[in-house]
């Protein structure tokens, strides 16, 4: 399955680049268990960041940021087979889960619940 990993990225960081980078590392930590189980992990920021930069984005939360980051995740949900929702407050991740459920996609709250992943 192509699995969107959703969780806090910008939320609660005050746009501190180090905190955002730490959040991205937490999202990426589950990519190996998913990949090892035969799935393809996907994180919206992996798609949104280069698009945002190439469009001239310069600061988290700028006008381009809002035009690219949430829509990128929404577009990904049209091709993803499931969502893995990691813990932590995140409006974007909550929206991803809501949209996934509207589309009838499975939503997992723990990487070990994803088929094929072993603890």
> Is the per-residue pLDDT at 61 higher than 90?
no
Q: Which of 64, 104, 67, 111 is nearest to 87 (CA)?
A: 111
In a domain, 90, yes or no: yes
45: domain range? Answer: 2-113
Span 96-118, pLDDT tens digits? 999 999 999 999 999 999 999 98
**119 pLDDT higher than 90:** no
Closest by Cα among 95, 119, 89 to 4: 95
Q: Is residue 106 part of a domain?
A: yes
Task: Please write the tens of the pLDDT for every residue from 75-96.
Answer: 999 999 999 999 999 999 999 9
In a domain, 68, yes or no: yes
Residue 35 lies in a domain: yes
119: in domain: no
Q: Is 75 part of any domain?
A: yes
Q: Which pLDDT score is estimated for 16?
A: 95
pLDDT tens, residue by residue, 21-60: 999 999 999 999 999 999 999 999 999 999 999 999 998 8
Strand (E) or helix (H) holding 99? helix 91-102
Residues 32, 70 contacting (CB under 8 angstroms): no
How many domains does the chain fold into? 1
């Amino acid at each position: 399955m192509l699995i969107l990993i959703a969780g806090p990225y910008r939320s609660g960081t005050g746009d501190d680049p180090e905190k955002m980078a730490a959040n991205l590392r937490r999202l990426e930590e589950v990519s190996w268990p998913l990949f090892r189980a035969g799935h393809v992990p996907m994180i919206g920021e992996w798609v949104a960041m280069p698009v945002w930069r190439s469009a001239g984005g310069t600061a988290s939360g700028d006008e381009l940021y809002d035009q690219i980051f949430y829509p990128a995740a929404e577009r990904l949900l049209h091709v993803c087979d499931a969502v893995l929702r990691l813990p932590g407050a995140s409006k974007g991740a909550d929206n991803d889960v809501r949209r996934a459920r509207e589309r009838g996609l499975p939503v997992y709250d723990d990487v070990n619940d994803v088929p094929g992943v072993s603890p």
